[in-house]
Amino acid sequence: MSAPTPRIPQTITRYRRQVLGLFAVVILTLLIAASDALLPAYVTSTDTLQPPSARHWLGTNDIGQSVLTGLLRATPVTVGLALLTAALALLIGLTMAGLAVVFPKKGRAVVLHLTDMAEIVPSILLLLLVAAWHQPGAAEIILLMAVLTWHDDVRILRSVLLREIGRENIRLARHMGASWPYLLLHHILPAILPTLTGVYLQNVVQAVMRVAGLAFLGLTAGDLLTWGSMLQDATGYLHTPAWQWLLLPPALCLTGFLLVLTTLDQRQQRHARLRQGANP
Amino acid sequence: MRPKAGIGISRGKAAALLRGLLQRLAVFVFLLVLMSVLPRLLPGDALDVLMDSDVQRDLQESERSALRDQLGLGGTLIEQVGRDLMRLLRGDFGYSHLHGAPVSRLLADALPWTALLIALATPIFLGVGVIFGIEAGRRPGARLDRIITTAMSLLASVPPFVTAMALLLCFAILWPILPTGGAEPLFPAEAPWPHAREIARHALLPACALALHEVVRYFFVVRGEAAGLSRRAFVINARSRGISGWRERRDYYGRNLLPVICARLSQSVATLFTASLFVEVIFSYPGVGSLTYQAVLDRDYALLQGAIAVLAALVLSLNWIFDALTDILAHRG
């Protein structure tokens, strides 16, 4: 190791957690993309509504599909939909917040008005309206949900951006001739990363709940297999013993995933608070 | 000029309220326009979509154009949308062929049931959320706080429709002490008191499911606010003077939490309607939520349009009223 190690940008070492998180997201995306080929086929059979057995570990549903296979196949779809929806909502929110900060007069008024309006739109009515004419598929769900939820992120992102831009380090660096792209990458982005992560996690929680709700109502495209649509299939069997293997697995998966997300979110918040307390 | 302190609201507040009203009107009109534009923007002919599900037959071109006029699909897009808007604003919601009744009657029949559920659920979630929130927040970090907060975090991770299904499963199917669905039995009792009791029994589970959904939100809001209050000088002072128990909770916490709770209520209007849709579908309760849902499934567009117009008007005006109340309360400081 005689050669000088390449200098890792300070941001990466300092924000190891966030970088690791990014890696996890990339790996997850690859897994989601490859899952269709890796998992067994989700085929119908004549063994309908079988209880769990050695052959079908979690039993079968009303058209003889294995619940376990369905659960495994629904996992990447459910998780992927939530992650992408949350990312798109964050992107729209960040763009809006950025516009409000860059154009403090006109932009701010327009963005805040739009945010106010988006906040009061009863989103369920809009979803019902759209679903009545056309049951949305994956891409449409992501777009719809992002358009309906970005407003949650704008205010907090705007206040964080304003705070960071007003700091001395930015003014000093500006004075020294730093360009805005440089400032964005080296000063502003690292400073707002914790907030971004927190907002993103909350977006994911919201997206999971909303997409599952829509699928539970049976208002998503028929071929889109998610935990929510599996729950929808189970509703007809509450009066039979089949609820034990039709209802419980997707319900537990959904709850477990949400629990992981909220725990991550709480830890992230505590972390951010500690950091703020350490260097006020 | 400084606005006069005291009763009433300042000019700035009034302007903000007016702005809120205008924004809500804009959103309402946007929803109405979307409602009438959307079906006409989709690929294919709206007439084909409508007829497809009802009558499968070849129509003559003259019959088609006659039908088009009859269904309000003639003329340019702007003409059609304008006609739709005027019709809805006049309060003429049309006729549901599937139910064989005017849409306004269907809605008028369903709304009281939804109102009953919300009226029953509100005291439950307010009471539980506020009491637990104050208990947890007045000593942040204590054992009681940790237990309650953990339980609430767990509850928050369960999607509301899953809790509703769990309630249905536990108290109506596995341990059948309450009815599984509907708002009253098939043959309601004649006498008023047994009848009221039957209605209450049917509404209990859905109302609880609805309340559970909101309890968590109120708990976290109230806990955070109470934790802030517990560090304020006047509360510390009161405690050192030996004020505790009911009086501390009511006069020192409860009274100061009122604006926060009111502010939360304005957001709750929309979430409660959303939640009631899920709850009514799960408990097959004949409220406006399940009516709307059924309209979507049956592609009963007249009913769907009427329901969305009425619900949007209700939600938007109610949350504006709560916003106004919050402003008046917050004025007390």
Q: How confident is the prediction along chain B (333 residues), in pLDDT tens digits per residue?
A: 444 444 456 777 788 888 889 989 999 988 888 888 887 776 656 566 666 555 555 667 777 777 767 666 666 778 778 887 888 888 788 888 788 888 899 999 999 999 999 999 999 999 999 999 998 988 888 899 999 999 998 888 898 899 999 999 999 888 888 888 887 887 777 788 888 888 888 899 999 999 988 899 899 999 988 888 888 888 888 888 877 777 788 888 888 888 888 888 888 888 888 899 999 999 999 999 999 999 888 888 888 888 999 999 999 998 888 888 887 777 654
Q: Which three-class secondary structure string do you get for chain A?
A: CCCCCCCCCHHHHHCHHHHHHHHHHHHHHHHHHHHHHHCCCCCCCCCCCCCCCCCCCCCECCCCCEHHHHHHHHHHHHHHHHHHHHHHHHHHHHHHHHHHHHCCCHHHHHHHHHHHHHHHCCHHHHHHHHHHHCCCCHHHHHHHHHHHHCHHHHHHHHHHHHHHHCCHHHHHHHHCCCCHHHHHHHHHHHHHHHHHHHHHHHHHHHHHHHHHHHHHCCCCCCCCCCHHHHHHHHHHHCCCCCHHHHCHHHHHHHHHHHHHHHHHHHHHHHHHHHHHHHCC
A236-258: average pLDDT: 90
Nearest C-alpha in A relative to B316 = A120
Q: Does B272 touch chain A (CB under 8 A)?
A: no
Nearest C-alpha in B relative to A124 = B274
pLDDT for res A276: 66
A99-107: average pLDDT: 87
Q: Does B315 touch chain A (CB under 8 A)?
A: yes
Subunit contact B296:A132, Cβ cutoff 8 A? yes
Nearest C-alpha in B relative to A250 = B162
Inform me whether the pLDDT recorded for A6 exceeds 60: no
Subunit contact B157:A251, Cβ cutoff 8 A? no
Q: Does B161 touch chain A (CB under 8 A)?
A: yes
Nearest C-alpha in B relative to A240 = B173
pTM of the model: 0.83
Least confident of A46-60, A104-118, B220-234: A46-60
Nearest C-alpha in A relative to B310 = A125
Query: Of A134, A235, A258, which is closest to B157 when you measure between CB atoms?
Result: A258
Subunit contact B293:A128, Cβ cutoff 8 A? yes
pLDDT band for position A277 (cuts 50, 70, 90): low
Measure the N-to-C terminal CA separation of chain A; round to a whole number of Å. 39
Query: How many A×B Cβ pairs under 8 Å?
Result: 109
- Higher-confidence residue: A55 or B67? A55
Inform me whether the pLDDT recorded for A23 exceeds 50: yes
For residues B300, B306, B307 and B308, what is the CA-based torsion angle, rounded to 10 degrees? 100
A249-261: average pLDDT: 93
- For residue B252, the 8-state DSSP code is I
Subunit contact B304:A217, Cβ cutoff 8 A? no
Inform me whether the pLDDT recorded for A102 exceeds 60: yes
Which of B30, B50, B161 to mutate to test binding with chain A, by most A CBs within 10 Å of its CB? B161
pLDDT band for position A230 (cuts 50, 70, 90): very high
In this structure, are strands B101-102 and B95-96 parallel, antiparallel, or unpaired?
Answer: antiparallel
Subunit contact B312:A125, Cβ cutoff 8 A? yes
ipTM of this predicted complex?
0.82
- Phi-psi region at A220: left, alpha or beta (left = phi > 0; alpha = psi -120 to 50): beta
A60-81: average pLDDT: 88
pLDDT for res B230: 85
pLDDT for res B55: 55
Write out residues 95-154 of B within 8 Å (CB-CB) of A: 153-154
Subunit contact B278:A213, Cβ cutoff 8 A? yes
